[in-house]
Amino acid sequence: MGQVEATTERIIAAGAEDVFDALADYSGTRAKLLPEHFSEYEVREGGDGKGTLVHWKLQATSKRVRDCLLEVDEPTDGQLVEKDRNSSMVTTWTVTPAGEGSSKVVVTTTWQGAGGIGGFFERAFAPKGLGRIYDAVLARLAAEVEGGPSAG
């Protein structure tokens, strides 16, 4: 078994605080950012950043569905960490300023992969597939926040 890691990033034309607030808004904005790979989204505790407990199913491939129950923490400014109670999966969202009115969002997900030949294929293909899923989340995040503070 080895650790598997998937990382993707995007520059977003909005301030870091607005971007972070949108990501941390599990009871509102976050559900709108999830592509079709996510289902059964439900906030079970909290709903705004640290202390939130959120559930969803993530279908990364046609055969693989993860039932995720995530505890959210904010260990440092601009960082959200989602730890899955049902597996070794941890997703870290880091938002930093990237020049005037822009921010950089980096998403990194790690988990303990399978051993043997299955683990080889998981390490070879899963990061790219998960990266595509999170690219879609980041594109939706950009569309949500790039117009400035929302009126609605």
- What are the residue boundaries of the structural domains of the chain, listed by start? 3-145
What CATH number matches the domain at 3-145, 3.40.50.2300, 3.40.50.300, 2.60.120.560, 3.30.530.20? Answer: 3.30.530.20
Contacts of 134 (CB under 8 A, 6+ apart): 6, 8, 107, 109
CB burial string 131-140: b at 16+ within 10 A, e below: bebbebbbeb
According to the model, what pLDDT value does residue 40 have?
97
Asked if residue 114 has pLDDT above 60, the reply is yes
Q: Which residues contact 78 (CB under 8 A, 6 or more apart)?
A: 16, 20, 94, 95, 96
The stretch 91-102 carries a mean pLDDT of 96
Q: What is the pLDDT of residues 27-62, one digit of tens each?
A: 999 999 999 999 999 999 999 999 999 999 999 777
